[in-house]
Amino acid sequence: MKKLTPMMHQYLTIKEQYKDALLLFRLGDFYELFLDDAIVASKELEITLTGRDCGLEERAPMCGVPHHSVNNYINKLITKGYKVAICEQIEDASEAKGIVKRDVVRIITPGTLIDTELLEDKKNNYLMCIYGNNSGFGITYVDVSTGELFTTEITQENLKQNLEDEICKLQPKEIIYSIEDNELEDFLRVCEKKHNLYINKYDQWRFEYDYVLKQIKKHFQIFTLDSLGFAKNHLGIYATGGLIDYLKTTQKRALNHLNKIHIYSLKQSMILDITTRRNLELTETIRENKKKGSLLGVLDKTVTSMGGRMLRKWIEEPLIDVDKINLRLDAVESIKEDILTRKELKENLKEIYDLERLCSKIVYGSVNPRDLVALKNSLKRLPNIKNIIINQKAGLLQSIVDEIDNHDTIKDLIEEAILEEPSIAVKEGNVIKDGYNQEVDQLRSASRDGKSWITTLELKEREKTGIKSLKIGYNKVFGYYIEVTRSNLSMVPTEYIRKQTLSNCERYITPDLKEVESKILGSEEKVISLEYQLFNQIRSIIEKEVAKIQNTARAIAQLDTIYSLAEVAYENGYIKPIINNETIISIDKGRHPVIEKMTNNSIFVPNDTYINQNEHEVSIITGPNMAGKSTYMRQVALIVLMAQIGSFISADSGTIGVVDRIFTRVGASDDLSQGQSTFMVEMSEMASILNNATNNSLLILDEIGRGTSTFDGLSIAWSVSEYISKNIKCKTLFSTHYHELTELEGKVKGIKNYRISVKEEGENIVFLRKVVEGSADKSYGIQVAKLAGLPKAVITRAKEILTNLEKNDITKHESIQESKDSKNTKENHQLNFIDMNKEDIANELKQINLHETTPIDALNILYRLQRKANDL
């Protein structure tokens, strides 16, 4: 049996505790991985796999990465879904007796990243903890890099739907969970696949009430949960306790920047399900998942990363409280009106560093001297920023002024202590300013003086020996030395001690030289370690102020968000909407905020909207394909949503009665991964809408019933429209190619027809993009197909067929009546099809030229005709 080396013994003992992570083991300037970890990492990171004799039976597979570039490698591993445990030397190698002590200082997981280079600036990086039992879910999520912590519970019906919506809204990078109900757990696992989530189960015992209670109390240093605002038995308590426990086990430090928990309810903001978020392209486009081309892409003029993240959150969680919305709108208005204010705000905000992420770095001890200078420069801007808005009347701006602290003590401390351009590394010196600490000054002068001693010594030796070319030099291996060229060797005194022979010279040392050297080098080393100590002291002083800096950071984020909305409102000619709790949505000359930017402003045709809840809740919109139906309906939804986040709107004027939810049903694509057909997806979306919409919701239905036969589809569309206007009474825009639906106007109260107008020019059509009252009488499908470039022959043939069909009068046929005689109607329609098919068979028979038909052709024709006859 071979004996394990002490290093491998230490490695294996540590690795035993971190089986589910790749262990990065610090050895000198490298982080090494061994055994299976090495095999995985070398493949994933494309680095060479070597081996090392560690006393195991065989050489241990090994690979390593240099410590200065370790972040890149960690990032790669995290992106590929691994956890990484960082094992450091935890004592000074020079002081160690035997093998240097090592331990894991942090486990990095996708949800616990804090290094800014690994994170997206304007996007949060959430870790979510889900606790579930038979009464519902508790959800707590945190962004460790910014210090934001939120919790909620879901206890009503639609548990699953609400959970999925919340996950999709927050897009957490990592989820941990403990769910006591098998069905709900299975559901979460389905979500994992569907939305490509990174999910791990966390030990159930960690969610026991007493245990979570202890975790929370200890973390927040409180005696009762009441001080945090938790209601009794709130499920968020479990999720929060579990999350804190997970952070403690992985981060291995007190996370003082997580000092507030925000308890929220799903009912506090507009509810948007995953389909609606995607369809309305709120933060990214459907096709390419890009911010450009989304609503966020248009509204984001924020200058700080903090503002960028907050704007995204505002868009993801539109408000439903009229007063809160108006607070935002008033603030946007007052900044929009004032060009100078906007300009000055931008200039000052531009200089503000990501204070939220900086606070996390301070708490983690990973802040560097340059970060502190950036902090100081940011803080310097705060008085200016306050001055710019101090006279603005808007209440929200006033409270922002109140929230911003100047942090003079910290600013002055950094100003006094840290060099303007310090080194990035904390352990290389060049951090502390002269005059801040006496000892640093003395050591520095010793090292400076030492250098002049060297010059004096050089002159003295030259005189003493008479060697004019004698030089004193320095290298890392020998330290200071006296260099004499070969031609002068005869003049070298006997007391010189030879150290090195080069081709044209010899190098010597003397006791005098070594004495000076030890003074110089000693003081240099000392100053570096003293600077490091002082830096840490300064960091701890700032750490005590983290909660206050976070407050300021949040206020700045809000201000930047308001600035952005004001800037966009000014640039794009948006106006302030009137917000109330009435049931009317009235928009004058509305424009689609994204599409108007893509076309030329002058080309986009504005349209009016009027929907109310009593006589006018459902608008049926007809018009040919490409006329602009989808654009119009999405435009209405986006305008309402913009208004409710506190943004000005892309219209000439608008009154928005606040809506509690927006639903969209837009041409579904097959969800094959879930084994669902287009029609099934369409119908389940429709079911969810009809079951959840309230009379305060806004519905956008872009065609329904398309995925099945005409009669089925039409009947479904018809009865859905009736159901909405009779039972739900929510504001609805419904585009359809079933012109029959327009007959509902006048029959069912609250349904009104609109069409998007087109102009016929000879055989072609021109899209006017104007929404007008009334219904379209033609589909213009063939004209649109022609515009799309279908071959001429196909177009001509389609026209022929259409004429035939029209001769059979199918389109003019008596429209569907109310349901009592719908059966008759259906039969009538079927008869009509039978007639058409008979005529088709007859026509085909007549056209056969028997002289030119081969027996095989004849058989084929017969086969086809028989199939048609079978369908009759």
Our finding on whether 604 is near ligand ADP (CB under 6 A) is: yes
CA distance 440 to 429: 10
Q: Which residue bears the tokens 């070594």?
A: 514
For 832-854, the three-class secondary structure string (H helix, E strand, C coil) is HHHHHHHHHHHHHHHHCCHHHCC
Rounded to an integer, what distance in angstroms lies between the CA atom of residue 72 and that of residue 746?
A: 66
Strand, coil or helix: what is 1? coil
Q: Is 280 in the site for ligand ADP (CB under 6 A)?
A: no
Instruction: Indicate whether 116 belongs to the interface with ligand ADP (CB under 6 A).
Output: no
Contact residue for ligand ADP among 199, 375, 470, 605 (CB under 6 A): 605
- Considering the rule CB under 6 A, would residue 755 count as an interface residue with ligand ADP? no
How remote is the C-alpha of 254 from its chain's centroid?
A: 26
The response to whether 627 counts as a known ligand-binding position is yes
User: Which residue stretch of 285-293, 320-328, 431-439, 600-608 sits at the interface with ligand ADP (rule: CB under 6 A)?
Assistant: 600-608
- Exposed e or buried b for every residue in 426-450, given b needs 16+ CB within 10 A? beebebbbeebbeebeebbebbeeb
CA torsion, points 719, 723, 726, 732, in degrees to nearest 10?
-100
Would the annotation count 624 as a binding residue? yes
Tokens of 374: 């950036």
- Rounded (to 5) percent helix, strand, coil in the chain: 50, 20, 30
Q: From the list 145, 334, 348, 630, which residue makes contact with ligand ADP (rule: CB under 6 A)?
A: 630
* One residue of 627, 642, 656, 668 binding ligand ADP per CB under 6 A: 627
Q: Please give the DSSP secondary-structure letter assigned to residue 268.
A: G
Site for ligand ADP in 637-696 (CB under 6 A): none
Q: Is residue 407 a contact point for ligand ADP (CB under 6 A)?
A: no
* Region label for 607, one of left (φ > 0), alpha (ψ between -120 and 50) or beta (otherwise): beta
Kindly state whether residue 599 participates in binding ligand ADP, applying the rule CB under 6 A: yes
* Min separation Cβ 591 and ligand ADP, Å: 7
The full DSSP string for 347-371 is: HHHTT---HHHHHHHHHHT---HHH
Q: Which residues contact 64 (CB under 8 A, 6 or more apart)?
A: 27, 30, 31, 32, 33, 47
The least CB distance from residue 389 to ligand ADP, in Å, is 37
Please identify, among the stretches 135-143, 196-204, 449-457, 622-630, the one whose residues bind ligand ADP according to the rule CB under 6 A. 622-630
Residues that bind ligand ADP (rule: CB under 6 A) add up to a total of 14
Q: Residue 639 CB, nearest distance to ligand ADP (Å)?
A: 13
Q: Scanning residues 226 to 255, which ones bind ligand ADP (CB under 6 A)?
A: none
Q: Considering the rule CB under 6 A, would residue 603 count as an interface residue with ligand ADP?
A: yes
Which residue, 136 or 606, is less far from ligand ADP as judged by CB? Answer: 606
Among 158, 485, 613, 625, binds ligand ADP (CB under 6 A): 625
Residue 542 as a binder of ligand ADP (CB under 6 A): the answer is: no
* Least distance in angstroms from the C-beta of 700 to ligand ADP: 11
Smallest distance from the beta carbon of 624 to ligand ADP, in angstroms?
7
Task: Choose the stretch contacting ligand ADP; rule: CB under 6 A; options: 12-20, 139-147, 212-220, 598-606.
Answer: 598-606
| Window of 234-242, 626-634, 709-717, 808-816 that interacts with ligand ADP by CB under 6 A | 626-634
Cβ nearer to ligand ADP, comparing 141 with 604 = 604
Q: How far apart are CA 846 and CA 430, in angstroms?
A: 99
125, 564, 631, 697: residue in contact with ligand ADP (rule CB under 6 A): 631
- Between 103 and 588, name the residue whose CB sits nearer to ligand ADP: 588
Q: Which residues pair with 128 in a beta bridge?
A: 141, 175
Q: Does 629 bind ligand ADP (CB under 6 A)?
A: yes
For ligand ADP, give the closer residue by CB, 539 or 769: 769
Distance CA 73, CA 67 (A): 10
Give DSSP secondary structure letters for 37-67.
HHHHHHHHHT---EEE--SSSSPEEEEEEEG
470 versus 700: smaller Cβ distance to ligand ADP: 700
CB–CB of 519/353 below 8 Å? no
Provide the minimum distance between the beta carbon of 236 and ligand ADP in the complex, in angstroms, as a whole number.
Answer: 42
Nearer to ligand ADP, 174 or 702 (CB): 702
Residue with the closest Cβ to ligand ADP? 628
Stretch that binds ligand ADP, among 26-34, 113-121, 369-377, 629-637 (CB under 6 A): 629-637
Q: What's the min distance (Å) between Cβ of 853 and ligand ADP?
A: 43
Q: Name beta bridge partners: 139.
A: 130, 152
Q: Which is nearer to ligand ADP, 242 or 628 (CB)?
A: 628
Contact 506, 484 (CB under 8 A): yes
Task: Count the neighbouring beta carbons within 10 Å of the beta carbon of residue 468.
Answer: 8
For residue 595, state whether it binds ligand ADP (rule: CB under 6 A): yes
What does DSSP say about strands 174-179 and 199-201: parallel, antiparallel, or unpaired?
Answer: parallel
Pairwise CA distance, residues 576 & 330, whole Å: 9
Contact 625, 783 (CB under 8 A): no
Q: Is 577 annotated as a binding residue?
A: no
Strand order in 653-657's β-sheet? Answer: 578-580, 653-657, 585-590, 607-611
Site string for ligand ADP, 140-179 (x = CB under 6 A): ----------------------------------------
Separation CA 336–CA 77 (nearest Å)? 45
E strand map for 90-147: 102-108, 127-133, 136-143
629 is in an annotated binding site: yes
576 or 769: CB nearest ligand ADP: 769
Shortest distance (Å) from residue 635 CB to ligand ADP = 8
Under the binding rule (CB under 6 A), the answer on residue 766 touching ligand ADP is no
270 is in an annotated binding site: no
Question: What's the rounded Cα separation, in Å, for the pair 736 and 618?
Answer: 12
The answer to whether residues 710 and 735 touch, using CB atoms and an 8 Å cutoff, is no
Shortest distance (Å) from residue 737 CB to ligand ADP: 9
Of 650, 663, 646, the C-alpha closest to 321 is 646
AA letter at 697? S
| Per CB under 6 A, 769 contacts ligand ADP | yes
Query: 675 among the known binding-site residues?
Result: no
**Eight-class DSSP state of 708:** S
Asked if 765 is part of the footprint of ligand ADP (rule: CB under 6 A), the reply reads: no
Q: Which residues contribute to the annotated binding site?
A: 623-630
The footprint of ligand ADP (CB under 6 A) covers 595, 599, 603-605, 623, 625-631, 769
Q: Which residues contribute to the annotated binding site for ATP?
A: 623-630
